[in-house]
Amino acid sequence: MAFPPAFMDELVTRNPIEDVVSQYVSLTKKGGNLFGLCPFHGEKTASFSVAPEKQIYYCFGCHKGGGVVNFIMEIESLSYPDAVRFLAKRAGMEVPEDGAYQSRYRQQERLWALCGDAARFFRQQLFLPTGRAAQQAILQRGFVRKTVNRFGFGYAPNSWDALITAMQEKGYTKQEMLDAGLVIKSEKNGRIYDRFRNRWMVPIIDLRGNVIGFGGRVLDDSTPKYLNSPETVIFNKRRNLFALNFAKKTKQEMLILCEGYMDAIALHQYGFDCAVASLGTALTDEQANLLSKYTNCVVLTYDGDEAGQNATRRAIPILEKTGLQVRVLRMEGAKDPDEYLRKFGADRFELLLRQSENQAEYRLQSLQRKFDLSQDDQRVEFLKQAANLVASFPNAVEREVYGTRAAEAAGITAEAMKLEVNKAYKRRLSRQKKEEQRVQLSPAVAQQPKVRALRYDNVRSAMAEEALLRMVLREPALFAQNNNLRAEQFSSPVLGKTYQALLDRYRQHLTVSLAVLEDVLTPEEMTHLTAVVQKEEPLVSEAAFADYCNIIQDEFRRKNLSGSEDLLAMRNRLKDKKGYGG
C-alpha cells in the first residue's frame, strides 16, 4: 500500500490540475477543456489538453497523459513519492511519512546506496596488491581493461569481515547488510560474516542504474563456481535481466539472450552490445515482457548441453507469447558464446547470428525427437504435427524445404507430405481470415495501445473493457449493479487492474477517478488510460453497462474453451445453454 488513499484524495482535491499545470503552461479554454503548448514535446499548435472535469491531462501530439501527480513527476523529474511530497508542500499538507510505502521506499533507497558503496569497495580491492590474483583470473578469461571498467568488476577479499567493516564505517547497519544479501548470519552463534570471499565480483545493475546485487566467481576451480546475491527487496531475479541497462541502448534490431552473465559480458566485449542474460533462473514471463519493450526479435544463445537445449525449448513459447520473433543460435565446437568467441572470434559469431534467421529447423528437429518414428501410430501423429508446424512458416520456400525434410524423416514421399502441408496451410488461412473479419468488425484495430507491452490480445473484449471503465468513471454508481464481473475476466491486465482499483475505491467510499491511481499504474499505463478516457462514451446507462459486462464475460469463456477445455468453463457453458429455468 502506498500513501493512505484518503490522504491522496485530499492531495488531488487540493491541487486542481488546471491550477498546477497553468504554473508551467499557459492554457486557453476551448469547450469544456483547456489547451496549451505541450511542455513535453516541441510544438507550435496547442495539442496539450487539460480536462478539469476528469482531473487529467493528455497530449494529442506525444500521447503523454495522467493526473496531477504524473504531471509533476514528468515535469519536475521526480519519483512518485517525491512528486507527492512536492504537491503536499504546495497545498500546505502534512505528508504521512510513516506509512508502509515510505518506509519501504526509504529502505530500498538505503539498500541501493549500500550495494553501490559495496561495488565501489570491491572495485578498490581489485587494484590493491591483494587483488592481483583476481586481476590475473580476469585477464586469463580474456577480459580487457575497458570491459573491467564498463561492467565495474571488483574483488571480494579473502576475509570474513572486510566488507562488513568497510560498510559499517560508511554508516550502514548489519541489518541493512543482511537485507541486501551481502552478509550471512551464522545459525550457530548469530554472528554475521561476508557472503562473498575471495571472488571476482560483477555488480548486477537494474534499468535505472542502481546496483541491486552481485555475481561472484571463484578465481580457481573451487566450488561453487558462481555465487549470486539472494533475492532481496531490491533484487528480484524474475524481473531483471543482466546488462539490459546497456543493451537497451543498442542500435541492433535484436537482443541476444544468454544463459550466464559471463556470456553476456563476453559478447559486449566483442562488440555485440545487444546481449543480456537471465540471472540464474529459467526465463520468466516478466523477463519476456521486459524484452518485448525494447526489441521485436530475440536470439537465444543458450548452452549447447542438454540442460541448455531444454531451456531453449521452454523459452521459445514464453517469448513468442509476447509477440517477439524468436531465433535460435546453434554453436558447433563450443559450449557457450563466451567459449565460442574466444575460440573463433567475432566474425564467425556474426555469421552464426545471420544464419539464425529463423527457428524452423530447430523446431522441426525438436518435434521429431518427441516421436519414435519406427512405430506406425507415432509416425502418423508426427506427420500431422509436422504438417501443421511447416504450414505455419510464412515463407513458401521454407515450407517446401522443411516439408521435404519431415517427409524424409517419416519415410513418406515428398508429394504426400506436400499435400498434407497444403491442407494444413489452407485451414490456417481460413482461420486467419475469420479472425481478421472478426477484428475488423470493430473499428478498434487502430486503437491498440501505443506501448507494445500493453497491446490487447482480444480487441473485442478490450473495447468493452475500455467503454466500461469510461462509464464507471463518469457514473461510479454503476458499480452498485451486481454483475459478478471480476477483474481477472478482463482480457487486458491493465484494464482489469484499473477496474479492480476503482471498484475498491468505490467500496471504500473514496473518489472514483483516474487521477488517484498513480500508485497503482506505471506512467506508461497511466498514459494509456488517459488516452482511453479521452474517447467519448455516448452511452452511460445500466443497460449498456450490463451489455459490456456480458461481452467481457463471453470472451473470457470463449478463451477458456478454445484453450484447454477448462472444466469450469464447460460447466458454465452447459449451465448457460440450459438457462435459469432449465
> Interface residues with Zn ion (CB under 5 A)?
38, 40-41, 59, 61-62
**Nearest to residue 560, comparing CAs of 569, 573, 549, 572?**
569
Task: Report in angstroms how near the CB of residue 38 gets to Zn ion at its nearest.
Answer: 3
For Zn ion, the closer of residues 59 and 126 by Cβ is 59
Region of residue 9 (left: phi > 0; alpha: psi -120 to 50; beta: else) = alpha
Q: What sign has the CA pseudo-torsion 371, 375, 381, 382?
A: positive
Q: Are 174 and 108 in contact, with CB atoms under 8 Å apart? A: no
Q: Quick one: 316 or 526, whose CB is closer to Zn ion?
A: 526
As measured in angstroms, the least distance from the Cβ of 441 to Zn ion is 32
CB of residue 24 to Zn ion, shortest distance in Å: 13
Query: Locate cell 492531495: which residue?
Result: 11
Residue 48: CB minimum distance to Zn ion, A: 6
| Nearest residue (CB) to Zn ion, 48 versus 425 | 48
Smallest separation (angstroms) from Zn ion to the CB of 243: 32
Integer Cα distance of 267 and 142 in angstroms: 12
Q: Strand pairing partners for 194?
A: 183
**Cα distance between the two ends of the chain:** 45
For residue 194, the minimal CB distance to Zn ion (Å) is 50
Q: Nearer to Zn ion by C-beta: 70 or 322?
A: 70
Q: How far is the CB of 18 from Zn ion (least distance, A)?
A: 17
- For 440, residues 6+ apart whose C-beta sits below 8 A from its C-beta are none
Q: Which is nearer to Zn ion, 59 or 341 (CB)?
A: 59
Q: At 46, list the grid cell.
A: 496547442
* DSSP H helix total and E strand total for the chain: 23, 15
Q: Following DSSP, what letter does each residue of 505-562 receive, concatenated?
A: HHHTT----GGG-TTTS-HHHHHHHHHHHHS-----SHHHHHHHHHHHHHHHHHHHHH
Of residues 360 and 529, the one with the C-beta less far from Zn ion: 529
- Rounded-to-integer distance, Cα 213 and Cα 229, Å: 5
Which residue type does 184 have? I
Residue with Cβ nearer Zn ion (59 or 391): 59
Shortest Cβ distance from residue 35 to Zn ion (Å)?
12
Comparing CA positions, the residue from 46, 45, 80, 41 lying closest to residue 63 is 41
**Residue 187 C-beta: closest distance to Zn ion, Å:** 57
Closest to Zn ion by CB, 70 vs 458, is 70
CB 535 → Zn ion: shortest distance, Å?
18
Q: Are 78 and 60 in contact (CB under 8 A)?
A: no
Nearer to Zn ion, 62 or 520 (CB): 62
* 341: CB partners within 8 A, 6+ apart: 266, 267, 270, 349
C-beta of 28 vs 189, nearer to Zn ion: 28
**196 DSSP assignment:** -
Cα distance between residue 11 and residue 95, in whole Å:
10
- Residue 333 neighbours by CB distance under 10 Å: 10
